[in-house]
Amino acid sequence: MRTAAAAMGVLCAGLALAEMTFGGSGPLVNDMALRYFTAEEIARGKSYVEGRYVLFGVRTAITLAFFILLTFTPLSRTLRDLSAVWAGHRPWLTLTLYAACLLLCYRLLLLPMDLYSGYFREHIYGLSTQWLGGWFKDWTKGLLLQVVLLLPTVNVLYLFIRRDPVRWFLPTTGVLAGLILLLTFLAPVLIDPLFHTFTPLRDADLKARVLKLADRAGIPVEEVLEVDASRRTVKANAYVTGFGRTKRIVLYDTLVKRSSPDEVEVVLAHEMGHRIYHHLWKGVGLSIVALFLGLGIAAIFLRWGTTRGLSAHPADPAGLPLLVLTLFVLSLVTLPLQNAISRRFERQADLAALGLTENRDAYIKVEVDLARSNLADIIPPRWAVFLLYTHPPVLERIAIAEQP
Ligand SMILES: [Zn+2]
C-alpha cells in the first residue's frame, strides 16, 4: 500500500515536471484582453490551461499505448485465455470477466494522472474545495457506473457480432442509439443525484425571474434546482437538462452566491438558447450518426484483425482492444470537427442570450467573471482552439456583445 502511494506520488511529481517543462510559453497579451483582465489574470489562466493541454496529450498517449500494446502483442489473447479458465469456458462470462479486467486496468493506469489533474492540480490553483476521500468516492462511483453500463453493453455488442460477424454494427447502432436516448432522458434523475445533491432554489425572487425568462424563451420548465457544486469546486455554471417531466433548470450554488440576478439570467438565457436551437437533439443525432460510421469502420478492422491473427474470430473477446482502439482513434481524428460544431452551437446560444436578456453589460460581466473564476486561457493558441475548444475563447464571446 505504502509502495503504491509512493509510486503514485512520484508519478504525480513527474506529471507536474512534464507540465512545467512543456506547458509554459509565457503569456501573450493584447489590448482587448487588457481591457477586461489584468496581466496577472491572463498569466494565471494561461498557466492553468496550458498544463491541461499537456495533460490531454499525456492522457491520449497513455490510452493509445495501452490499447496498441494489448492489440499487437499476445497480451490480449493471454488475458482472454485466463478469463475463459476463470469463467469455466462460458462465453458470456469469459467476455464479462475479460472486459471488466480491461476496464479496471485502464482506469487504474490513468488513476495517478486523474488524481493529479482532478485533485492536486485543482487544489494548487485554488479551484477545488473537495477533500481527498471525497475525490476517491467520486472516482469509485464513476468506475462502478461504468461497470454497470459497459459490461451489459459489451455483452449485447458481442451477441450481435456472434450472430453476424459482418453486419453486426447495424443492430448495435440501433440498441446503442436507444441507450443514448434513454440516458439523455434519465441521467438527470438517475445518474446526476449519485454525485450531487439537488434542492429546489430557495431564492423566491430569483426563481420567479428564472421562470419568467423560461416563459419568454418558450421553454416550459418543471423545476428550478440548486446543486451543491461548492462541495467540490469554486467554478460556477448552470444548465437546462432532461426532457418532458425530467426537464429542469439547475443552478450551481457557486453561481447563485456570486452573481447578481441579472447575471444568473444571462447564464440561463444562454442555456435556453441551446434549447431554442435544439442543440441537445442535434448533438444526440450527430452522436448516433458518428456511432454508426465508427462501428461500421470498427467492423472492418475486427475482420482485418482475424486475418492477422490478433483474434481467432470477430467475436473473440481478444479483439476488443482493437475495437476500442479503432473507435478511440476515430474520435481523436474527428475531435476538431466535433469541437467546431460545439463552438458553433455555443455562438448561437450566446446570441440567443443577448437577444433574450437585451442586457449587454450583464452578458459581458458574466463572460469576464466565468473566465476569471474558471481560470480560462484568455488568448489561447489557435491550434488549441481548433483541436480542443468546445466553446469560443472568451474574447470572441465578448466581441459578439461589443458589436453595435
Ligand atoms: Zn453553452
- pLDDT value of residue 187: 83
User: 377 — phi, psi (to 5°)?
Assistant: -80, 110
Q: State the CB neighbour count (10 A cutoff) for residue 56.
A: 15
Sites in the chain below the pLDDT cut of 50: 1, 20-27
Q: Which three cell numbers stand for residue 31?
A: 489590448
Report whether 12 contacts 115 (CB < 8 A): yes
Tell me the C-alpha distance between 114 and 138, whole Å. Answer: 12
Residue 325 Cα to ligand 1 middle (Å): 30
Which residue in 128, 140, 112 sits closest to 55, CA to CA? 112
Query: Under 8 Å CB-to-CB from 276, ≥6 apart: which residues?
Result: 217, 218, 219, 352
Report whether 266 contacts 341 (CB < 8 A): no
Q: Which three cell numbers stand for residue 144?
A: 462502478
Q: Which three cell numbers stand for residue 343?
A: 463552438
- pLDDT value of residue 146: 92
Residue 392 Cα to ligand 1 middle (Å): 10
Tell me the C-alpha distance between 235 and 373, whole Å. Answer: 6
- pLDDT value of residue 23: 47
Residue 271 Cα to ligand 1 middle (Å): 6
Positive or negative: CA dihedral 56, 58, 59, 63: positive
Residue 270 Cα to ligand 1 middle (Å): 6
User: 246 — phi, psi (to 5°)?
Assistant: -95, 5
- Burial level of 274, CB count in 10 A (0-12/13-18/19+)? buried
- pLDDT value of residue 232: 83
Query: Which single residue is written with the C-alpha cell 441537445?
Result: 280
Question: Sheet harboring 223-227: ordered strands across?
Answer: 198-200, 223-227, 248-252, 238-241
Tell me the C-alpha distance between 293 and 303, whole Å. Answer: 16
For 7-30, give one letter per residue: b (16+ CB within 10 A) or e. Answer: eeeeebeebbeebeeebeeebebe
Residue 394 Cα to ligand 1 middle (Å): 12
Collapsing DSSP to helix, strand or coil, 166 comes out as coil
Residue 29 Cα to ligand 1 middle (Å): 26
- pLDDT value of residue 13: 57
CA angle, residues 141, 171, 150, in degrees to nearest 5: 15
- pLDDT value of residue 227: 92
- pLDDT value of residue 77: 94
Residue 261 Cα to ligand 1 middle (Å): 19
Residue 257 Cα to ligand 1 middle (Å): 21
- pLDDT value of residue 24: 45
**How many secondary structure helices (H) and strands (E) does the chain include?**
18, 4
Residue 344 Cα to ligand 1 middle (Å): 10
Residue 366 Cα to ligand 1 middle (Å): 13
